[in-house]
């Protein structure tokens, strides 16, 4: 990439003079804060910018000596495999098996070779039990694994993954990590874009760190650790104290079960939540965490069992009746948005409930650092910025 400057339609410059090269067999880490330009940089590798997103591009991008301006996305398909940060945007087939097979069929491989590759990647990432499932029915972590599998099996010369470890439990993280190391050892170039890469820096051979569209650091991973710390890109959590929970239960589930057709997602879940209590809901990908949360605000109805809130059973209440007291931030923020401006998105709930308070809104803008995003479309933000808007809106 040589002196890359880029802006989307109707935005300022997102990338500002980025200049670097990637060598054969590199394992490259690209880091940076929300909105620093990481995903935009990813779209340059396979021609999504400028051929899909449009906008204004200055500078040159060459992949395997091919200028991306002169070659369409499908022409770069076999050179660069891209796993998007939002897995839902990449999944469109009726079954997981069809999803993995789609790219292989596009390469014109034989049926036997396609079957072999599907079986191999399914064993590597432990997807055997998901092959007949629809991607739409999977958990967020399972969707991400399928998206990674569908690109890994193509065996491209450059493998680019945008936040591949997001939504994954630690067992799945390790499976993906080992698969990427094996791909790199086989002579392929691997590029991983992550915000929280501290534990995986030693896997990489070189690091790039972006800050507000400019290259802040390029060099060895050993030195990158301190740069990431200085840029507040490695977690340094405070040990805040929660207030003591109330004595009476606020939300109760009793022997809660939920199934979809023949598949039992929840089985006999009983728990109590008290006012002021903080609960960590932990489980493997596909264990039912999101399904359980959707019972708390009435988005799902239990197959059996009860959910009560403030002593009243939720069954029969519309989610809109509970919205003022039970807020749910979706795992995929795109599923939550319905307005064209960030400001309108955040204000939609308070406006419907008649609870708009200007002082409170100003505090929300500041806490979630939204002042510069208020007139932007939530759909055009980075995934990290989308999550901030999602949280602010509830």
Phi, psi dihedral angles at 263 (to 5 degrees): -95, 120
**Any idea what DSSP says for residue 2?**
E
- Segments making up each domain of the chain, as ranges: 2-230, 245-328, 330-394
Cβ atoms < 10 Å from Cβ of 181: 14
pLDDT tens for each residue of 75-118 = 898 899 999 999 999 999 999 999 999 999 999 999 999 999 99
Residues 370, 148: Cα–Cα separation, whole Å: 31
Give the pair of three-digit tokens for residue 131: 């092959």
Share of the chain above pLDDT 70, in %: 97
Cβ atoms of residues 313 and 306 within 8 Å: yes
pLDDT over 80 (residue 232): no
Superfamily of domain 245-328: P-loop containing nucleotide triphosphate hydrolases (3.40.50.300)
Contact 159, 180 (CB under 8 A): yes
Euclidean distance between CA atoms 353 and 114, whole angstroms: 53
Could you read off the pLDDT of 269-283 as tens digits, one per residue? 999 999 988 889 999
Mean pLDDT of 345-351: 92
pLDDT band at 354 (very low <50, low <70, confident <90, very high): confident
Structure-model confidence comparison of residues 267 and 166, the more confident one:
267
CA neighbor of 159 nearest in space, from 181, 142, 143: 181
Q: Are 202 and 225 in contact (CB under 8 A)?
A: no
Q: Do domains 2-230 and 245-328 have the same CATH topology?
A: yes
Taking only the tens place, the pLDDT of each residue in 289-299 is 999 999 999 99
| SS3 call for 228 | helix
pTM: 0.81
Q: What is the dihedral of CA 281, 286, 290, 296, to 10 degrees?
A: -80
User: Which tokens go with 379?
Assistant: 């759909």
Q: Which fold has domain 2-230?
A: Rossmann fold (3.40.50)
Distances (CA, A) of 85 to 40, 141, 313, 354: 11, 12, 38, 36
CB burial of residue 131 (10 Å; 0-12, 13-18, 19+): middle
For residue 224, give both structure tokens. 């990158």
**What is the reported pLDDT for 216?**
93
The pLDDT assigned to 366 comes to 95
pLDDT at 179: 92
């Amino acid at each position: 990439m040589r002196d890359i400057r880029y802006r989307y339609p109707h935005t300022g410059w997102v990338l500002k003079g980025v200049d670097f090269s990637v060598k054969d067999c590199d394992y490259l880490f690209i880091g940076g804060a929300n909105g620093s330009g990481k995903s935009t940089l990813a779209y340059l590798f396979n021609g999504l910018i400028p051929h899909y997103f449009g906008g204004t591009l200055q500078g040159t991008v060459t992949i395997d000596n091919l200028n991306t301006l002169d070659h369409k996305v499908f022409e770069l398909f076999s050179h660069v495999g891209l796993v998007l940060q939002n897995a839902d945007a990449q999944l469109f087939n009726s079954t997981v098996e069809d999803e993995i097979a789609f790219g292989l069929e596009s390469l014109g491989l034989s049926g036997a070779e396609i079957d072999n590759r599907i079986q191999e990647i399914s064993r590597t990432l432990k997807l055997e039990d998901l092959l007949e499932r629809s991607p739409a029915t999977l958990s967020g972590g399972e969707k991400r694994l399928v998206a990674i599998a569908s690109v890994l099996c193509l065996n491209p010369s450059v493998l680019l993954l945008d936040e591949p470890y997001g939504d994954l439990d630690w067992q799945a993280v390790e499976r993906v990590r080992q698969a990427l190391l094996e791909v790199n050892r086989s002579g392929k170039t691997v590029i991983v874009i992550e915000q929280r890469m501290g534990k995986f820096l030693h896997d990489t051979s070189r690091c790039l760190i972006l800050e507000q569209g400019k290259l802040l650091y390029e060099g060895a991973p050993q030195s990158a650790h301190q740069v990431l710390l200085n840029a507040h890109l490695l977690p340094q959590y405070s040990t805040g104290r929660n207030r003591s929970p109330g004595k009476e239960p606020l939300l109760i589930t009793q022997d809660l079960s939920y199934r979809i057709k023949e598949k039992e997602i929840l089985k006999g879940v009983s728990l109590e939540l008290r006012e002021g209590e903080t609960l960590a809901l932990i489980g493997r990908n596909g264990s039912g965490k999101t399904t359980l949360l959707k019972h708390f605000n009435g988005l799902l109805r239990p197959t059996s069992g009860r959910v009560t809130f403030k002593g009243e059973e939720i069954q029969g209440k519309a989610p809109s009746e509970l919205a003022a007291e039970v807020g749910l931030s979706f795992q995929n923020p795109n599923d939550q948005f319905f307005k064209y401006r960030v400001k309108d998105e955040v204000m939609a709930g308070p406006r419907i409930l008649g609870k708009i308070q200007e002082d409170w809104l100003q505090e929300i803008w500041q806490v979630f650092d939204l002042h510069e995003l208020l007139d932007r479309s939530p759909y055009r933000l980075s995934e990290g910025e989308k999550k901030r808007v999602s949280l602010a809106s509830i």
